[in-house]
Structure 1
């Protein structure tokens, strides 16, 4: 009960369809490899063949990979899924050279306007134009294939080293070994003594791994700088912005508004510090300290009812989608041994469904998380009728629907909440916002400084700690106790340790604030905004971030838009501080 059903994909590893699809995958890769050798002319027929082959292969890969990774996420001790995933990656490796050749073929199309007279090709206009526009950053196909092969035992291993060390390393906590994940989770403890001791032991524990992680980070960022130079990008940020379909001016507008809002967030942090008995700003170990705890218990059934009822106030389409999720067992709710922590949603456009992993805790936060993940499912629902090559949305847009749905639920809950529940909900929302605004800004500044410095030097662990503290001082300012910050945030955030995803930070701020700006638009326009919002979601995979905003009636390239979005948060801070001005 309360587990997901994956039979829409396969019933198990012994399902004949799963076995047949693995054989089919090999056949389709063989066909793709053969196709790559016959790309002599650009024609409607040949481009159609390429697009069809990629669509079919993409759907098959995603079906197999989703089934295996979803099973592994709830049964990590089952090595059969790991083994099958490894075999799948090996099978896919045999298509790398062909994929690089096909990319070159599509990038060299010079008569796209003529080809777009064909309806099927026209459906892929954005996909093709993007490949053509990025042609200047491509290397010759043989070099692309060589880099991919070298990376397997090169930069990929540095990424894997980070994952292995941080997952397996144990540090001392009260005389007992504890994993990094578990000691960091103690930051949410209701006991102030536990929070402080966990922080101190965490900081001390990094000493044992700081040099290995510093080598890993230096190697990855050095590799990134090399690839930026080889491909002809201005810098790693330009490479990230292009892959994010975003103009640098839009990012500048976002951070301009964030920078102007920092005094309000610092005031919130100082207020929280005083509520907890601190006089010199909030010590880092109390950033996530719970202030109050509602006595109300939330069952899964109550959570589903709250989500459905609040979503129905927005649209029947949204409410009907989540009802499908409840009725058809799309959600794996409860924590259990060998199930990964946290929560996520996996869109499955090839079967027009989604799956949600949750670790439900019978509290209000778990209800909000459910709404958040089902927002991702709704986003998947709005793009499920696209061709497979048109189902990928970029990171800045990825959190739009989820945050929007979280707002729908939270705003509804606030209307009927008791004082204690209201304090809890407001503080949770503001605390989360502080992370995706203030902390994310510090991470962006840190990563930028690391990439800049890495051009000329190897950065020791001490260098990295100094850069991190400098970034935190610039964003948190007097909101944090300057003597109790976190110099090792570079060591505990895996986002830095990916050569393919640089600046995996600002998209969180973009998504959080974009959704708030859209919600403000909904409050302003009412029901007439709903169809505009749904149309926007449907186009998030085939437009730039700026054009997506235009569809919703907002201009994301202006600082004024982001300031209006932040206005929702500063209003929350004012309400929270007024509600707690006499204490809790």
Structure 2
């Protein structure tokens, strides 16, 4: 049967020629010149106590948003280039250039923050009343408030400048190490060299011996490079801590909470409610172990299929299924997904040289998105595909908003993606042709719940403890392994027979410079999306407009206010979180009931 959809994305529609693109080179040169000139103009701008200053600031904000789009466009393109081919040296050079450019733009925004801080309270009130800025009231007040918490503009610019060859350079170094890593395995009597992305997929094999074999190879590969990864993590953490100390911040959660527009009380209540409910999910882990004939599941057994007879889903079948299920809730969402498949917005081919993992990145100038993953036909891959399409749709419904109002936080970004994933996962369970198939699909669905409640919790515990130890000095590989194992055992309630001591090295999220604590927002998004999903299940396609309205507000509200406005719930109280967890717990009960029969 002829393949309907391409599994290799089309980047030429954005900038033809890949890392050798002349169009992209011209784009960068013009952007660099514009940022340099903008900074010069800002350096000459003075805030007077007159209304004329307000019109100057309006012009500055319009100009800043236009340049912001182009900076994001460049960043998205180089991230795609380095992901599709980790050995593309030219793409790595472009990445360094774009990061320097991004730092220059951050300095521009720091200058703008100084302008906003220089306004009297009376002029500030007048500025927010201007018709041209009505849609940015929240974002401007947020910028001014956050700027007050930081150092002077000149000192913040120095930090941004030093971060290019310091902070961000360590993140680049991590990617360089991963890019040159290969994992050598023996298959069918032949030696093969796998990328880390291909090796990661094989750890989800139907065959337990294969999983264990790959797990041993995996741990050894990351262990062999552990000293380098420890350097990366220690210096990233050190840079952050020194910056926080200079600003007078004593709570390492301040920055991630600010980024996610979220109160610490909300985070605390969410984790407390999850911990109270973990015994229910330990039941699921124990039952799965019984079904696999094990006393306890090992680390690689958690996501393993229950039977070797699991059918693989072709890419075309996955695409059709996703479009159909999206349509049952939102015709607009289905049309968007169809467009993404038709126009080759998705890189899914399984080949060597690709980086591991999956992501969605958006091109605000082109008003398109691109999705990256390595598809191998598993139910988990189908879920990932739906998940990333949810991200892309989120951006799509915000494209007409001012650029500053489009910058939504990671926690609500994960809401849209997880919601999309739930639509597909729930439908496949309900439409299963047999109890055996239903059990396998439920298992895959519950495995994602375990990831959010336990795996992500382990990451959060590890990172919190890492920063406390890093304040005292460098943390050794041995100690990093100890902390990782301790966090995993606590998060999984010691329900597993083995863990992954080098997870701190193999998980990219610990080494990303853009977002500290790249963990708890996933769990927030998962449970928040469950609340939205419950509402959508009640109202069907009638909920489509309300859902789009919620997504469009994600870039201009605190999450607590967003939840109150669109769902009428209080996120600082356990009731919302408990109801969301109860929905997931129903899957555990169904799974145990079906496996008893």
Q: Quick check: TM above 0.5? A: yes
Aligned to 2:523: 509
- Structure 1 residues 270, 555: CA separation in 2 closer, same or farther (over 3 Å shift)? same
* Number of corresponding residues: 579
- Quick one: distance in 2 between partners of 1:90 and 1:565? 42
Per-residue CA deviations over 1:395-450 (Å, capped at 9, x if unaligned) read 11111111111111222222221233322211111112211211111111111112
Aligned to 1:361: 376
User: 1:322 touches 1:374 (CA, 8 Å); kept in 2?
Assistant: yes
Aligned to 1:124: 136
Counterpart secondary structure, 1:277 = coil
> Offset at 1:223?
2.5
Give 1:52-201 correspondences, 5 Å limit.
52-95=62-105, 97-109=107-119, 110=121, 111-169=123-181, 183-201=199-217
> Offset at 1:384?
0.7
Aligned to 1:217: 233
User: 1:106 touches 1:132 (CA, 8 Å); kept in 2?
Assistant: yes
User: 2:458 touches 2:490 (CA, 8 Å); kept in 1?
Assistant: yes
Aligned to 1:372: 387
Per-residue CA deviations over 1:221-277 (Å, capped at 9, x if unaligned) read 232222222112231112211111000111011101111111111111111111122
- Structure 1 residues 328, 169: CA separation in 2 closer, same or farther (over 3 Å shift)? closer
- Quick one: distance in 2 between partners of 1:206 and 1:7? 34
- Structure 1 residues 411, 386: CA separation in 2 closer, same or farther (over 3 Å shift)? same
- Quick one: distance in 2 between partners of 1:317 and 1:344? 22
Aligned to 1:417: 432
User: 1:294 touches 1:421 (CA, 8 Å); kept in 2?
Assistant: no
- Quick one: distance in 1 between partners of 2:524 and 2:581? 11
- Quick one: distance in 1 between partners of 2:183 and 2:374? 25
- Structure 1 residues 329, 196: CA separation in 2 closer, same or farther (over 3 Å shift)? closer
- Quick one: distance in 2 between partners of 1:205 and 1:298? 30
Per-residue CA deviations over 1:40-92 (Å, capped at 9, x if unaligned) read 11622111121111111112223333344434433555544444444444445
- Quick one: distance in 1 between partners of 2:21 and 2:218? 45
Per-residue CA deviations over 1:302-323 (Å, capped at 9, x if unaligned) read 3332222211211222222223
> Offset at 1:99?
3.6
> Offset at 1:357?
2.9
Structure 2's unaligned 5+ residue stretches are none
User: 1:8 touches 1:351 (CA, 8 Å); kept in 2?
Assistant: no
Counterpart secondary structure, 1:552 = helix
- Quick one: distance in 2 between partners of 1:182 and 1:302? 21
Structure 1's unaligned 5+ residue stretches are none
Question: Does 2:245 correspond to 1:226?
Answer: no
User: 2:528 touches 2:580 (CA, 8 Å); kept in 1?
Assistant: yes
- Structure 1 residues 117, 263: CA separation in 2 closer, same or farther (over 3 Å shift)? same
Per-residue CA deviations over 1:335-385 (Å, capped at 9, x if unaligned) read 345444443322233333322234333444443333222211211111111
Match of 1:21 among 2, 16, 27: 27
Per-residue CA deviations over 1:460-489 (Å, capped at 9, x if unaligned) read 2222222222222222124212xx233222
- Quick one: distance in 1 between partners of 2:167 and 2:94? 23
User: 2:387 touches 2:418 (CA, 8 Å); kept in 1?
Assistant: yes
Once structures 1 and 2 are overlaid, which stretch shifts more, 128-137 or 466-475?
A: 466-475
Once structures 1 and 2 are overlaid, which stretch shifts more, 3-12 or 409-418?
A: 3-12
> Offset at 1:504?
1.2
- Quick one: distance in 2 between partners of 1:246 and 1:49? 31
Question: Does 2:50 correspond to 1:34?
Answer: no
Per-residue CA deviations over 1:522-573 (Å, capped at 9, x if unaligned) read 2234444332211100111111111221232132222111111111211111
> Offset at 1:104?
1.9
Counterpart secondary structure, 1:355 = strand
> Offset at 1:204?
4.5
Once structures 1 and 2 are overlaid, which stretch shifts more, 88-97 or 103-112?
A: 88-97
Provide the TM-score with structure 2 as the length reference.
0.89
